[in-house]
Amino acid sequence: MALLQIAEPGQSAKPHQRKFAVGIDLGTTHSLVATVRSGRAETLPNSLGGHLLPSVVRYRLDELPQVGSKALQHVVDDAPNTIMSVKRLMGRGLQDVTRLGESMPYVFEACEDGMPMLHTTAGLKSPVQVSADILRVLAQRGEASLGGELVGAVITVPAYFDDAQRQATKDAATLAGIQVLRLLNEPTAAAVAYGLDNEKQGTIAVFDLGGGTFDISVLRMQKGVFQVLSTGGDSALGGDDFDHAIADWVCQQRDIVNLNLSQQRFLLRQARTAKEALSQVSATDLSFAGWPGVSCPLDVELDREKLNSLLDPIIAKALRATKKTLRDAGLGVAEVDQVVMVGGSTRAIRVQERVAELFDKPPLTSIDPDRVVALGAARQADVLVGNQAGEEMLLLDVLPLSLGLETMGGLVEKVIDRNTPIPVARAQDFTTYQDGQTAMVVHVLQGERDLVQDCRSLSRFELRGIPPMAAGAAKIRVTFQVDADGLLEVSARELASGVAATIQVKPSYGLSENQIADMIKASWSNVAEDRGARSLREQQVEADRLLEAIAVAMQADGERLLTTVEQQTIVTQMEALIVARGGDDHHAITKQIDVLAKATDEFASRRMDDSIKRALAGKAVDNI
C-alpha cells in the first residue's frame, strides 16, 4: 500500500530542505552576487576567487558573449562591441542616450518601442539583453557555489530608478531565467546588511557616494516595518570629482595646459592612486614616470591636509543634499540614530570625518562599501524564500516622483505624491466634461509640475461605454496601484454602469537619475510660476465650460424666453469673456466669469420655471 506524501498547505513537501536564493547588486561598473549560509551573508566568488564582476559584456560573431574581466580587457581595442556602464541605458530611449555624450562609443538604433539597440558584430543588442548576460553569469555563479538551482533572487536598484528603469531590470532578470523575488532599493539593502532591521525602532541615513553619483536616503524602522521616508542626492557628484580636483591641482602646480586625451587619462589614474593611498598614509608622491609625451620629471607630493582642502567643496555639495533630504523627511540631524556608508568613495577618510561632524556620531563603516548592498539583498532573499524562522521584516520603499492624471486644460491632478511609501493603492473620482460623453482618455503622468507639458507621459488608455449623461453627472473612479517593486497599474471604472478598463503601465524607456533630480529641482524653482499657470488654466477651463453651457441654452430657449435686448446683453458679455479667456490674466477671467454669470441669472431662473411648468402640465394636484 502506498502512502500519501503530506505537507502543510503552501509548504514544501520537504520542509527541512533549504531553498537557494541570492541577492544581486547589478552595478554600473561592478556587480556582485551574495547569499546567506549558516546564518551569515557573504558574497560569492568566481572560480578564481574574485568577488567583483566587472559589468562589461563583449559580443563576438558566432561566439558566446564574454562577461566580466575578459571583456574588460577589450574596452579599448574593441570598444564598439564591448558594452560597459549599460545600467546608464536601462529604461531609457534613443533620444536620452544620445545626450550621454561621447563617453559611450557605440552605434545606436531605435527599435519600434523606442528602446535603444546597440550595433555589435553579433547583431543588435538591447540594454536589457546586455544586463541579462551579466545577470546570467551571476546566477550561474550562485548555483555553482550553492550546489543547486536558485529559487529566486532579490535584485537591487537605485532609489531614483523610475517605473521604466525598474521594469527594464525585471525584464533582464526574466530573460536571464531568474525569478525576481523583489526589486529592492540599494540604500534599503545597505541598512538591512548592517542588521538595522533587527532594531525595534530607529531612524537611519544611508550615505551612498559612488564613482559618479551620490544618493542619500532616510529610513525608519518601527514595529517591524522598514520604511523609506525620503530620498535625494546629486547624480553628477562622486569619486570621479575627487580625481578631477586632484588632477586640476597638479596642473596648477606644474603649469600644465592643453592635455590630450591620453595624458588626461594618465593624470586621472595617478590622482586616483594617490587618493586611495592617502586613506592609509599621511602623504604620498604622485609619480609621473611614463607620462605620455613628457620626458621631464613632474612628481608632486600630496599630503592629507591638502587633499582635505581639495575634497571639502565637493563633500559640501553632498552634505547640502543630505540636509535637504532630512528636511523632506521632517527630521533634524539629531533625530538620526545611525548613518550607513555605501560606495567606494566613502573610503576617503575626509568623507567619513565630515559625515561624522554633520550627524555628531561616527558612521557605520565595518562592512566593505562595495559589498554592503549585495549582502543586504541576500538577507532579504533569504527571508522571502522562507529560510529564516520568525517574523519577516517589511520593507517599504517610496515613489521617486508623483503620479497623476491629465485633466481639462492640460493640468495635472496628482493621485499619489512623491515619497509615498510603496506598495500603495490610491483612488480618485473624476467626471465628464461634456453632455452625452461616452468615452474618456486616461492619460497617466509622472512629475512634480502642474502642467502636462512639464511632466513625463507614462501611458494612455481609453474608457469606453460610459452611459450618456449630463456633463458632470458620470462618476469615474480611477485607481493607481504601485506594487512592492515600484511597478504601476492604473484602472478606471464608471460606477453606475460598471464599465472598466485597466492598463499595466510599462513604458519603453524611463528617466535618468539626473532627469529626476532636475524635475524635482524645477518643481521647487518654478513653484510660483506653476501656481499662476495652474490658476490661469483652471479659469480658462471654467470659462469654456460656462460659454458652452450658455451657448447651448441660448440656442434652445433664447428667443423664446429672452427679449432682443437681453439676448444682446448676454452675447456682449460672452464676447468679453472670450477676449479675457485668450489673455494671461486669470484675475480678469475670474471677474468676467462673475459678470457673465450675473447677466444670465435671470435667464437660468426662467428656464427652471419653464421646465417645472412643462413637467406639471396636465397633472392634477393630488397626483403630484
Active site amino acids = 25, 87, 186, 208
Calculate the CA dihedral of residues 329, 334, 335, 336 and round it to 10 degrees.
80
Ramachandran region, residue 498 (left: φ > 0; alpha: ψ -120 to 50; beta: rest): left
In sequence order, what are the residues at sequence separation of 6 or more whose Cβ sits closer than 8 angstroms to the Cβ of residue 368?
none
8 Å CB contact between 581 and 540: yes
What does the alpha-carbon distance between residue 371 and residue 43 come to, in Å, rounded to a whole number?
Answer: 7
- Three-state DSSP at 595 gives helix
For residue 477, list its beta bridge partners: 429, 493
**Cβ atoms within 10 Å of 119's Cβ, excluding its own:** 15
Cell 435686448 found at: 565
What does the alpha-carbon distance between residue 288 and residue 282 come to, in Å, rounded to a whole number?
Answer: 20
Phi, psi of 282 (to 5 degrees): -90, -20
Q: Which helix (H) or strand (E) segment is 286 a member of?
A: strand 283-286
Q: What is the secondary structure of 25-53 as a DSSP string?
A: E--SSEEEEEEEETTEEEEPP-TTS---E
What sign has the CA pseudo-torsion 11, 15, 17, 18?
A: positive
What does the alpha-carbon distance between residue 403 and residue 329 come to, in Å, rounded to a whole number?
Answer: 19
Integer angstrom CA distances of residue 138 from 73, 81, 493, 590: 19, 21, 44, 63
User: 105 preceded by cis ω (within 30°)?
Assistant: no
Smallest CA-to-CA distance from 186 within 233, 145, 140, 150 is with: 233
